[in-house]
Structures are given as structure tokens and as C-alpha cells.
Structure 1
Amino acid sequence: MNQESMSATRDALAQAGHVSFSSLFPATRHGAHTVRHDAEKWLADHLPPEGHESGDLAATASLLAAELTANAVLHGRVRGRAARLVVTLDATAVRVEVTDARGERLPAKSPSEDGESGRGLLLVEALADDWGVRPHPPGGKTVWAALRR
């Protein structure tokens, strides 16, 4: 997609009340940390400040982005492949999506009792109004969480 068509698409989405942040990041702890902070800045620019109901929404979306990007690094990393964080705002919801290269490693809806991981998804379940996972061809997955506005 060239710069002109990207701009036209962004303008059309903005007019429809739909804007999004999208960034590839290295599937490393530092990459996840950096993209999460970039998304937090973007959310601060697009939602009212803390203390307002939507400010709390920004904080919750930031927590979801932190957990999902950390999970992509921990469970979805493939050497040499990047992950992607997308945060979308529209009139009804904030949606956080993270795509990684490990489609065969799907998150469990609840952790096993003796497992050492999976607890972060309990946080996602508690914070999000809805969440799930879908395949991302040719072999990855996208884990998403949605917050109603």
C-alpha cells in the first residue's frame, strides 16, 4: 500500500469514527515494552485523560496491550519473525489485537491448576468485555480483547 492510499484509508476511517494504531515489533521483551509505550501514547492522544471514564478505558487498554504483547513474546516467538500490535477505536469499542507467528500455540481459556503460565489471561478475562483468538494465515494467530466504550 502506498503512502497516498494509506492516507486516504486513514482519513476515511477517521471520518467514520474509526481510528487505529498498528505497529510491528521484534518479538523480544524490549520490543514488547517499546510498542506498548507507543500504544499508550497513542491512546492518551485519542481518549480523554485519566479520571474521566474514557481515561480509565485508556489505562485498561494499556494493561491489555501489555499482557497480550508479553504473551506474544513468551509463547508466540519465532526467531527472525516480528509480532504486530493493533489498537482500534470506534464509537462502540476499543479493541487490542496482537498477532504472532505461532498459530499452533493457542492460549487456553483457563490455566491448568499445576501450570506455571496462563495466569495473565485471567487478567485479560477480568478486564476485557470479550476476548478470543483467531488464525492469522499463513501460520500465525491473533489474540484480541475488546472493551466497550
Structure 2
Amino acid sequence: MTSGLKASGELRMGMAASPASAGLAWTLVGQRLLSWGLGEDARYDAHLILAELVANAVAVTPVGGSITLHCRRDADGVVLGIADSCPGLPRDPPPVVELELEDLDLSEESFDDNGGWGLTLVAALSADCGVTPLDSGGKVVWARLRS
């Protein structure tokens, strides 16, 4: 695991590509956001955004691989990102819509697998979001928090 705090206040930390990394990412970012004076609403949105970004990165990373958390503050606010080694870019999220219960597959075998809405949630909660390809062949999926 690697970590570093850049002089600019950027937090960058490598972590295992595991669903448990969402909790670690939130602990680190939550403390950083508190120290920057962000309110409860922004921290709540950041928590949901991080959970989705980590889940997506973990899903495309081979077992035993790693992902990297990015959190930085700049003149325009706070940007959260998760880097993975997968060169594939995520599909554009579907438009934000209100789901009805009948839209979900509630069968026992699919009850918790109604995915595909994570980036829509990220887009709805953030001021801006996107994907930045890395020279290494991977990418950073990022979101800018609303101020």
C-alpha cells in the first residue's frame, strides 16, 4: 500500500482492489473533508460517490490488483477519483430517471444485482464528473463535489 500527501493537499493512496477499500477510502476522505470545513451534505454526497467509484474500479480490476484513491482541493472545489488499471472506459451513464419498483428484477437470484446505475448516481450528486485515461493504460474516474 502506498500513500502520499502532496504539498498541494492532494491525497493519493493505493489500496487493494477490494470492496472493503470503500470504507478505507471514506475514512481517509471524510477526515480530509472535515479538515477542509466541508459540511455534512457535501460529505454525505462524497461518501456515496466514493462507494460507487470504488465498486466500479474493483469490478474491473483483476483479483490481487490495486486501485488508487485521489482527493484534491483546488480553486474550483474538491475532486474525488479512483484509478484502476483497466483500459476500458465506462459507458456514459443513462439519464437520471425515477425508478419504479417494477423496473427492478426482484427475483431471489437477481435481488441485489440491479446494477448499472452507479455512474448515474455519481453524475446526479456531483457538479461535474468524467474519466481521464492514464498513460499506463488505466484510467481515473472522477467527480467534483458540489460547493
In structure 1, the gaps of 5 or more residues are 1-5, 14-18, 49-53
Aligned-partner Cα distance in 2 for 1:61–1:33: 12
Which one of the candidate residues 66, 69, 79 is aligned to 1:95?
Answer: 79
1:32–1:73 contact (8 Å) kept in structure 2: no
Aligned-partner Cα distance in 1 for 2:26–2:74: 20
Report the counterpart of residue 30 of structure 1 in structure 2: 20
Report the counterpart of residue 16 of structure 1 in structure 2: none
**1:92-131 aligned within 5 A:** 92-104=76-88, 106-111=89-94, 116-131=114-129
Q: TM-score, normalised by structure 1?
A: 0.74
Q: Which amino acid aligns with 2:55?
A: A
Aligned-partner Cα distance in 1 for 2:41–2:76: 15
In structure 2, the gaps of 5 or more residues are 95-102, 105-112
What is the Cα deviation at residue 37 of structure 1? Answer: 2.0
1:25–1:32 contact (8 Å) kept in structure 2: no
SS of 1:80's equivalent in the other structure is coil
Runs of 4+ in 1 over 4 A off after TM superposition: 113-116
SS of 2:71's equivalent in the other structure is strand
Does the alignment pair 1:61 with 2:46?
Answer: yes
1:47–1:58 contact (8 Å) kept in structure 2: no
Aligned-partner Cα distance in 2 for 1:145–1:35: 14
Q: TM-score, normalised by structure 2?
A: 0.74
Q: Which amino acid aligns with 1:37?
A: T
* Aligned pairs, number: 129
Aligned-partner Cα distance in 1 for 2:115–2:27: 24
Which one of the candidate residues 79, 83, 105 is aligned to 2:63?
Answer: 79
Q: Which amino acid aligns with 1:63?
A: L
Judged with a 3 Å threshold, the aligned counterparts in structure 2 of structure 1 residues 102 and 25 are, in CA distance, closer, same or farther, namely same
2:79–2:143 contact (8 Å) kept in structure 1: yes
Structural RMSD (CA): 2.6
Percent identity over the alignment is: 32
